[in-house]
Amino acid sequence: MTEIKTFLLPDVGEGLTEAEILAWHVKPGDEVAVNQTIVEIETAKAAVELPCPFAGTVAEVFVSEGDTVEVGRPILSIALPGATIPAPTSAAPEAAVDATPAAPPAEQPAQKGAEREAVLVGYGVKQTSAPARRARVPHVTPHGAPHTEAGPPGEAARPVRYGSLEVGRHTEEVLSRRSPVLAKPPVRKLAKDLDVDLATVDATGEDGSITRADVERAARLTVAGAAAATTPSLPGGRAVAPAWTGAREERTPVKGVLKMMSEAMVSSAFTAPHVTEWVEVDVTRTIELVERLKARPEFEGVKVSPLLLVAAGVVRAARRHAGINSVFDADAGQVVVKHYVNLGIAAATPRGLVVPNIKDADRLDLLQLARALQDLVDTAKAGRTQPADMVGGTITITNVGVFGVDGGTPIINPGESAILAMGRAVLKPWVVDGAVVPRHVMQLTLSFDHRHVDGALGSQVLADVARFLEDPAVELALG
């Protein structure tokens, strides 16, 4: 029996080829159990927590937070119970590239007790013709002591790096002070964007974790202190805007969700000829129904907003006009009409735009739809949307109204034929029964694929959603 097991970065679904290491939950010397979460990664689609398929002691961690690693590459090793932990190596073991891929744990003989391996979906070496890359290695012994690389004879040992921390002979005190910070990946991303050192942030979250509010408060304090020290004044005491601080330009790597979004939008914009139509709708009765639903006992604890009723209207329109709930398959020379509605909701997250979808939304009643929407949005904001939740959509809604915007020209989500943008609901003078009265008005914008959706169908769909929102209680037969 092999005493040291190497954990390879698995393909967590949808044929992904690489992922970024967001946060390690373990370090060398830690005891781990089967299915214990050991690392959080970000793929091109979502942030994913990886469970450990082995039980034992973490021997080495081969990659650092922030590294981008190819699927099938080693990321850490586990010493099984009773094994001797070897000294750290200078590089991660190379995965076999041209050889036959290793069998996934599900195909290996089952072991007993703590040595039994868990089945991890997609675990195994990914075939690729690309040359093997050496990952950056955090040189830390199993007990967390600093490690240095030996230089030429007579020369002092050179310090190495662990993440952004330089490790040398005199850094034990630093390492002890920089204990692992508890923060979710979106919070870490926010801290990075705001240039906030999480090690200096006071945590107020559960179990000592750092929250978004903690990071934002730390950023405000930093900005306020810098502004007080650097803001010049004009004669008379009038302050002038402070100059930019730091570098004059900033470059952000295009990877992960941002890379996926940019590629998808370019593909959609230059593949499907977009036609966009819009209409203004009196949504006063929609706003009134939202308030009535909030007061109903069955909706207690469930978020109810105009988005819920727009979603209900889009689902009904997609069922009535099946041609809009379709996709143009250029390779097969076919238009594929979907007889189910997987309703996509564009969500702005700390990592970028994602479009998870509610599977079989047309089978849900209004309360079930409200719960599904709330779960979808909460999961997306927390950075926990899984890749499977973002595939198979049939039609999408993007809510630009939450940003105080009236409307826009949305780009169709790849694999679909239409997307509806809902703007903010604002009071405007509106003619009702010959009199001008204040009414809540919303702009709806529909973009559709003009290769197979003609103007008549697109107009019918948009008018159908508008008619629904003018009096949704009647459409839904609600008392």
Q: Which residues are catalytic?
A: 450
Question: Between 212-230 and 185-193, two packed helices, what is the crossing angle to 10 degrees?
Answer: 10
CB atoms within 10 A of CB 397: 23
Between the alpha carbon of residue 173 and those of residues 146, 168, 208, the distances in Å are: 10, 11, 22
Distance CA 71, CA 18 (A): 5
- Amino acid found at 176: S
Q: Chain-centre distance of CA 180, in angstroms?
A: 23
By the 8 A CB rule, do 62 and 74 touch?
Answer: yes
Between the alpha carbon of residue 367 and those of residues 297, 299, 344, 391, the distances in Å are: 11, 7, 18, 24
The total number of residues shown for the chain amounts to 479
Identify the three-state secondary structure at position 48: strand
Rg (CA), the chain: 27
Distance CA 16, CA 122 (A): 10
- Amino acid found at 160: V
Element (H, E) at 291: helix 284-294
